[in-house]
């Protein structure tokens, strides 16, 4: 309890049975509600949603290493590239999913401007890179204002032994890219990530191009360059154009054209050819349905939690389960409302190991229901008694409760 004394935790523990057991961040006592965040060493975690992909300490995976070649872009890591690192990593190394020029890399650089970014092929490779000390942090998307939640990362948060230590909110601005010398009216198709295509669908429909999905926005830019696709455009960020030698045919393609070009001066100030300007003017009356305020929220993940503070805005993320019963979710959410705690996010995910629950109905026999995990974000620090009391109260209703992280709120514009 030495690590808790500084926070003057006022949680009664005299009634706790000595048989309580802790499993990492899985909470089995009110005392664990706080100690899971503020405590020191952690035991091995056995998540509720472990479907056999956790690495054991005995596993040894071949490490190919991350060779830095100034003339060649770094190859994204895969799970097979990862094994425990032997050095202390004096510089901050941050993993992200994608290739150089991805929006996730921009989020990593916003969080750590002087960091070394490490691309990974999959979300899980980024999680494992942090766990195995290959990198210090990972920055991964969790939700966007247009595409909604990234469900894969919610599942991985429960499966892996990492802590949320921060968040980054990024305004996503898409660009329509093409090979040098190609004009916009020459494009027959546009390729990008499905969400990027969806965010720009109204403008793309007006351009009368075929829309094709690829794995990510950077992959689209790479494909156009490597295959010399003159009749194909890519939707990606401006940095991808610089990296892969493409021209920006239109900035902020997600915004309706008549919003971007509000007057002739700003319209012609864009470096476009006269032909493009004349052709493009025909489409300036496009509707207002595209997303011109697309914000993606990223989480910063680390092996160690941050120390909660009460002198600045903090957010806490938790996951829990509930028993079946009328009003049980209402009662669970009331523990925050009763203490004036603002909830900013709630997400439910069916449990994979036990997706269905059989309940005996008195009149109609048995019935089957989904068994859910509930993810919640709320605005309070675990250093505050009200947050401690709220989770202590929730523990009385929840068979399983785990704190995923307590971290500073991103207030940067």
Q: Do residues 192 and 98 both lie within one domain?
A: no
Q: Do residues 210 and 253 both lie within one domain?
A: yes
Residues in the chain: 413
E-strand stretches of 252-341: 295-302, 314-321
Flag whether 370 is in a domain.
yes
pLDDT at 145: 86
Q: Do residues 213 and 255 both lie within one domain?
A: yes
- Domains held by the chain: number: 3
pLDDT at 21: 35
Task: Quote the tokens at residue 164.
Answer: 């949320």
Flag whether 11 is in a domain.
yes
Mean pLDDT value of segment 180-206: 91
Q: Do residues 87 and 138 both lie within one domain?
A: yes
- The span from the CA of 334 to the CA of 281, in Å, is 54
Would you name the residues annotated as active-site residues? Answer: 296, 298
CATH number of the domain that 21 lies in?
3.30.70.260
Mean pLDDT value of segment 391-399: 96
Q: Do residues 159 and 239 both lie within one domain?
A: no
Instruction: Convert the pLDDT of each residue in 193-205 to its tens digit.
Output: 998 998 898 889 9
Task: Quote the tokens at residue 7.
Answer: 């926070």
pLDDT at 369: 64
Flag whether 232 is in a domain.
yes
More confident residue, 379 or 7: 379
Distance of CA 148 to the CA centre of its chain: 11
CATH number of the domain that 235 lies in?
3.40.190.10
Mean pLDDT value of segment 101-125: 95
Q: Do residues 156 and 182 both lie within one domain?
A: no
Flag whether 71 is in a domain.
no
More confident residue, 307 or 270: 307
E-strand stretches of 257-382: 295-302, 314-321, 342-350, 356-361, 365-370, 372-379
Q: Do residues 167 and 180 both lie within one domain?
A: no
More confident residue, 209 or 40: 209
Final residue in a domain of this structure, among 301, 331, 364: 301
Query: Is pLDDT of 10 > 70?
Result: no
Closest to 121 (Cα-Cα) out of 96, 103, 146, 142: 96
Domain interval for residue 191: 175-281
Flag whether 366 is in a domain.
yes
Q: Do residues 266 and 168 both lie within one domain?
A: no
Mean pLDDT value of segment 212-238: 94
Q: Do residues 153 and 110 both lie within one domain?
A: yes
236 close to 208: Cβ distance less than 8 angstroms: no
- The span from the CA of 318 to the CA of 378, in Å, is 9
Mean pLDDT value of segment 60-83: 44
Query: Is pLDDT of 247 > 90?
Result: yes
77 close to 54: Cβ distance less than 8 angstroms: no
How many CB atoms within 10 Å of residue 105? 23
Mean pLDDT value of segment 115-140: 96
pTM above 0.75, yes or no: no
Q: Do residues 117 and 190 both lie within one domain?
A: no
Q: Do residues 403 and 315 both lie within one domain?
A: yes
Query: Is pLDDT of 128 > 50?
Result: yes
- Return mean pLDDT, the chain: 76
The residues, any chain, with a CB within 8 Å of residue 180's CB and separated by 6 or more, are: 245, 246, 247
381 close to 405: Cβ distance less than 8 angstroms: no
Final residue in a domain of this structure, among 281, 314, 333: 281
- The span from the CA of 88 to the CA of 294, in Å, is 38
Q: Do residues 90 and 108 both lie within one domain?
A: yes
């Amino acid at each position: 309890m030495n690590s808790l004394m500084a926070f003057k935790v006022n949680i009664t523990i005299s009634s706790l049975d000595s048989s309580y057991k802790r499993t990492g961040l899985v909470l089995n006592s009110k005392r664990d509600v706080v100690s899971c965040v503020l405590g020191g060493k952690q035991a091995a975690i056995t998540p509720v949603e472990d479907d056999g992909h956790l690495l054991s300490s005995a596993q040894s995976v071949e490490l190919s290493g991350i060779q830095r070649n100034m003339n060649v872009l770094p190859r994204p890591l895969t799970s097979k590239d990862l094994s425990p690192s032997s050095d202390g990593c004096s510089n901050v190394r941050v993993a992200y999913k994608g290739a150089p020029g991805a929006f996730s890399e921009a989020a990593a650089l916003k969080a750590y401007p002087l960091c070394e970014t490490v691309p990974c092929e999959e979300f899980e490779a980024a999680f494992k890179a942090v766990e195995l000390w290959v990198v210090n942090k990972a920055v991964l998307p969790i939700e966007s204002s247009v595409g909604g939640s990234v469900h894969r990362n919610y599942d991985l948060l429960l499966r892996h032994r990492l802590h949320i230590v921060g968040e980054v909110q990024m305004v996503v601005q898409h660009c329509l890219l093409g090979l040098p010398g190609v004009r916009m009216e020459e494009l027959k198709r546009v390729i990008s990530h499905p969400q990027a295509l969806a965010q720009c669908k109204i403008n793309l429909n007006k351009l009368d191009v075929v829309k094709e999905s690829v794995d990510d926005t950077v992959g689209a830019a790479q494909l156009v360059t490597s295959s010399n696709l003159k009749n194909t455009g890519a939707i990606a960020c401006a940095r991808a154009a610089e990296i892969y030698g493409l021209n920006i045919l239109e900035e902020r393609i997600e915004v309706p054209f008549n919003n971007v070009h509000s007057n002739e001066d700003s319209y012609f100030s864009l470096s476009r050819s006269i032909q493009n300007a004349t052709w493009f003017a025909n489409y300036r009356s496009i509707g207002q349905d595209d997303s011109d305020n697309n914000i993606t929220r990223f989480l910063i993940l680390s092996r160690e939690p941050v120390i909660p503070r009460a002198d600045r805005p903090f957010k806490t993320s938790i996951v829990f389960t509930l028993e079946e019963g009328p009003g049980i979710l209402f009662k669970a959410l009331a523990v925050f409302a009763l203490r004036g705690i603002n909830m900013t996010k709630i997400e439910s995910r069916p449990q994979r190991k036990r997706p269905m629950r059989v309940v005996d109905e008195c009149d109609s026999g048995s019935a089957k229901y989904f068994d859910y995990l509930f993810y919640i974000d709320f605005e309070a620090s675990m250093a505050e008694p009200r947050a401690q009391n709220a989770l202590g109260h929730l523990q009385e209703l929840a068979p399983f409760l785990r704190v995923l992280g307590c971290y500073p709120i991103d207030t940067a514009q």
